[in-house]
Amino acid sequence: MKKSKILVFLLILVTVATFAKWKPTKPITVIVPWAAGGSTDQVTRMITSQMEPLLGVKFIIVNTPGGAGSIGTLNAWQAPHDGYTWTANAVLDLAKYAVLGYMDVTHRDWKYFLPIYAPNVVVVNPNTPYKHINDLIKAMKENPEIPMGSAGTGSGGHVALEIFAEYFKVKYKHVPYAGGAPATTAVVAGEVVGNMQFSMEVADMLRAGKLRALCTLSAKPLTISGYGTIPSIREWYPDFPDVGAYFGLAIPKDVPSEVLETVAEVFEKAANSPAMKEWADKQGLVSVCIYGEEADKIVEEVARRVTWLLYDRGIATISPEKFGIPRPGQ
């Protein structure tokens, strides 16, 4: 009996020691390089709220918009690499900064913890005459100056616009904002005709009847709680690319290894929590739990697609070859 109690006690000690490889002693700062209320901000606040009780410390979210997300990202990189300063972003954003000339840090310098995949949605102001995606395509072919907003140059919404424009051989007037939330507010206010931002950035305005959804750019229809189902663009154009983005946390890869090990264990529990999954469903998002080598592989694939798209479209001035990023398929 005594031996069994000792074994149980030792097992508990081993379990706790395994989980608590790194025990933070102060709040962790997460620099969100976009405006409050946008996609990255929402995902960050949700996932960190699930991680706080597991780590036993508070997360301080600092919104630092500007430079298409590069300013806040650089601030996070320049902070001490001790595990107490992270950043958060869409994978495609972290992949683009080097080729845009914003910073020398590349997507390979971070370790990723991704809890969400978000599809892009084509929305317009409900006072416009566009009620079907073909209406918008026709208008863009006739008028290359139709104003379309995004969260900034090279942002996820801008990349979606560029993929759309390349596929349909149309042009548009790009109007960049400091994040997904202001880009969506601009559509509601009539400053721009529409945008192709992520589902969680437009969900509330869709439910309120202040936006009209024409389609999602994902491979499947999208259901948003309290609004309804948005058809996929593939209903009319079966070979249109699947456009969306992975969102999550990023930590400099050269932090102490015990930091990454502990974060991985905590993140897995948080990303798989019922609250996280319920929130994702409500926002029309896909709940995932991706980190480690799987995340590295996804990030590399995204970097190939996004950096070469931006370079070939004349948006990026530096060739991805400089950073050893091969073209997709090579």
Question: pLDDT tens for residues 2-34?
Answer: 455 554 444 444 444 445 589 999 999 999 999
State residue 9's pLDDT score.
Answer: 46
Under CATH, what is the fold of the domain 119-235? D-Maltodextrin-Binding Protein; domain 2 (3.40.190)
| Burial group, residue 268, by CB count within 10 angstroms (0-12, 13-18, 19+) | middle
| pLDDT tens string 282-317 | 888 989 999 999 999 999 999 999 999 999 999 999
pLDDT digits (tens, 9 = 90+) for 249-285: 999 999 999 999 999 999 999 999 999 999 998 888 9
Q: Check if the beta carbon of residue 79 is closer than 8 Å to that of residue 252.
A: no
**If you compute the radius of gyration of the chain from its CA atoms, what whole number of angstroms results?**
21
CATH code for residues 23-113+247-316: 3.40.190.150
Mean pLDDT of the chain: 93
- Burial class of residue 5, CB neighbours in 10 A (0-12, 13-18, 19+): exposed
Please give the average per-residue pLDDT across 207-227, as a whole number. 95
CA distance 27 to 139: 51
pLDDT at 163 > cutoff 80: yes
Nearest Cα neighbor of 265 from 90, 11, 18 is: 18
Question: In whole angstroms, what is the distance from residue 54 CA to residue 211 CA?
Answer: 38
> Where exactly does CATH 3.40.190.150 map onto the chain?
23-113+247-316
The pLDDT value given to residue 14: 46
What's the predicted TM-score (pTM) here? 0.81
CB 77 within 8 A of CB 103: yes
Give CA–CA dist 109/112, Å, rounded.
10
- pLDDT tens by residue, 143-158: 999 999 999 888 899 9
What's the CA dihedral at 13, 19, 22, 28 to 10 degrees? -130
Residue 98: pLDDT over 80: yes
Position 111 scores a pLDDT of 99
Q: Which residue has the higher pLDDT, 178 or 209?
A: 209
1 against 28, higher pLDDT: 28
| Per-residue tokens: 166 | 């390349």
Q: What is the pLDDT of residue 330?
A: 76
CA torsion through residues 30, 268, 58, 276, sign = positive
- Please, where in the chain does CATH 3.40.190.10 lie? 119-235
Q: Kindly state the average pLDDT of the residues 42-49.
A: 97
| C-alpha–C-alpha distance, residues 170 and 168, integer Å | 6
